[in-house]
Amino acid sequence: MNMIQAINSAIDVAMGRDGAIVVLGEDVGYFGGVFKATEGLQKKYGKTRVFDTPISECGIIGVAVGMATYGLRPVPEIQFADYIYPALDQLVSEAARLRYRSGGEFNAPITVRTPFGGGIFGGQTHSQSPEGIFTHVAGLKTVIPSNPYDAKGLLIAAIEDNDPVIFFEPKRIYNGPFDGHYDRPVQPWSRFAESAVPEDYYTVPLGKARVVREGNDVTVLAYGTMVHVAHSVIQETGVDAELIDLRTLVPLDIETVVASVRKTGRCMVVHEATKTSGFGAELSALVQEHCFHWLEAPVQRVTGWDTPYPHSFEWAYFPGPVRLTEAFKRVMQD
């Protein structure tokens, strides 16, 4: 399966097991979603469980919170993460705080699926990576898969989780892993082991990172599309890097991160999102707090620039092979 098929299968399997799960969002019903992630679900589960909504993100999330309060488990889709902002108040002020402010009387077990990330010439409003806005909110979990196997297992785990989860789907790798070489054709997922996705139920636990590649010289912390970009640069440069796919940003798998950095003594953080106050800043601070005496060089952050996502400058903006290679040189220098 590719990522889309894996996500579709996750929702299908989860819905089959739990009648309380409902899917809602713009174009998700009859049409099956602009990326086809919900294709066939309305036909299978009916219009009261999979339905189209008005174009109103604040309405979609507000209504989902209300449905959750009733006892359903809504899986709302926000068509692009760039359009999640109208729903911020419902996510930050309501979904995230409901359990806390009601002393546990009410909660909002919603899973907000939303395609995110760049590398697709999406310009300013089809490329953003707003995860840092959500990791900053107490009460939200933030999950980002990087391959079909994880996408399905993490999504089922997110839907079953009793806390609100923001599930970012790196749309650049829906069809195949992207290594950052935009001038080369993308290989489909079918050529990679992670496309072997079981048809049935399984989960990948939230809060657990995956060591993609073991290494001794430097730890690379990445998620989403950047896992693949980092992986290919590691192979090309021959650095003996340990690559960690965080998979869940909150709650973070701190143990895996700390154990790795204490082993390697160096750390590089990679994300597409803008640099200032991005999640990389949190990672860098945590590494500094937990691994200060083990660090042999400053933590390097390779991120999008602090600008809105530009259209024609895509490949100067995107933290691709050129920028990662330079960062490896810097981090290995001292």
Partner 1 sequence: MTGRNLPPLSLHVPEPPFRPGDTVDFADFDMPAAGAVRRPPIDTSPADIRDMAYAMVRVLDDEGRAQGPWDPRLAPETLLKMLRSMALTRAFDERLYRAQRQGKTSFYMKCTGEEATSVGAAHALDYDDMCFPSYRQQGLLIARDWPIVDMINQIYSNRADRLKGRQMPIMYSVREANFFSISGNLTTQYPQAVGWAMASAARGDTRIAAAWCGEGSTAEGDFHSALTFAAVYRAPVILNVINNQWAISSFSGFAGAEATTFAARAIGYGIAGLRVDGNDALAVYAATQWAADRARNNHGPTLIEHFTYRAEGHSTSDDPSKYRSAEEGGKWPLGDPIVRLKRHVIGLGIWDEERHAAMDLEVAELVKAAQKEAEKDGILQDGLKQSFDSMFEDVFEEMPWHLKEQSAQMHEERRAAGI
Task: Give the other-Cβ count within 10 Å of 287's Cβ.
Answer: 24
Both tokens assigned to 194: 């992670």
Question: What does the buried/exposed string (b/e) look like for 190-219 if buried means 16 or more CB atoms within 10 Å of the residue's CB?
Answer: eebebbebeeeeebbebbebbebbebebbb
**What's the closest the beta carbon of residue 5 comes to partner 1, in angstroms?**
27
Type of residue numbered 102: S
CA–CA separation, 105 and 67 (whole Å): 15
Q: Which residues are identified as catalytic?
A: 126
Measure Cα distances from 88 to 8, 152, 271 in Å: 25, 26, 22
CA–CA separation, 277 and 264 (whole Å): 25
Pattern 290-329, partner 1, x by CB under 8 A = ----------------------------------------
Q: 27, 34, 36, 63: which one contacts partner 1 (CB under 8 A)?
A: 63
Q: Which is nearer to partner 1, 139 or 177 (CB)?
A: 139
Q: 62, 177, 215, 319: which one contacts partner 1 (CB under 8 A)?
A: 62
Could you tell me which stretch among 161-169, 223-231, 271-279, 293-301 binds partner 1 (CB under 8 A)?
A: 161-169
Q: 309 with 273: CB under 8 angstroms?
A: no
DSSP string, 236-267: HHT--EEEEE--EEETT-HHHHHHHHHHHS-E
Q: 17, 43, 44, 101: which one contacts partner 1 (CB under 8 A)?
A: 101
Q: Which is nearer to partner 1, 99 or 171 (CB)?
A: 99
Both tokens assigned to 205: 């636990």
**What's the closest the beta carbon of residue 263 comes to partner 1, in angstroms?**
20
Could you tell me which stretch among 86-94, 222-230, 261-269, 272-280 binds partner 1 (CB under 8 A)?
A: 86-94
Query: Which residues are within 8 A (CB) of 230 and not within 5 positions of it... i.e. 6 or more apart?
Result: 220, 222, 241, 243, 270, 324
Does 44 contact partner 1 by CB under 8 A? no
Q: Which is nearer to partner 1, 160 or 296 (CB)?
A: 160
**What's the closest the beta carbon of residue 248 comes to partner 1, in angstroms?**
10
Does 31 contact partner 1 by CB under 8 A? no
Does 259 contact partner 1 by CB under 8 A? no
Site size for partner 1 (CB under 8 A) = 47
Does 251 contact partner 1 by CB under 8 A? yes
Q: 27, 36, 136, 207: which one contacts partner 1 (CB under 8 A)?
A: 207
Does 106 contact partner 1 by CB under 8 A? yes
Task: Identify the CA nearest to 203 among candidates 156, 137, 166.
Answer: 156
Q: Which is nearer to partner 1, 214 or 255 (CB)?
A: 255
Type of residue numbered 203: T
CA angle, corner 46, sides to 140 and 48, nearest 5? 55
Pattern 277-296, partner 1, x by CB under 8 A = --------------------
Q: In the block, which residue shows the tokens 């953080």?
A: 269
Does 71 contact partner 1 by CB under 8 A? yes
Q: What does the binding site for partner 1 look like in residue numbers (CB under 8 A)? A: 22, 48-49, 53-54, 56, 58-59, 62-72, 74, 86, 89-90, 93-94, 97-107, 138-139, 141, 161-163, 207, 250-252, 254
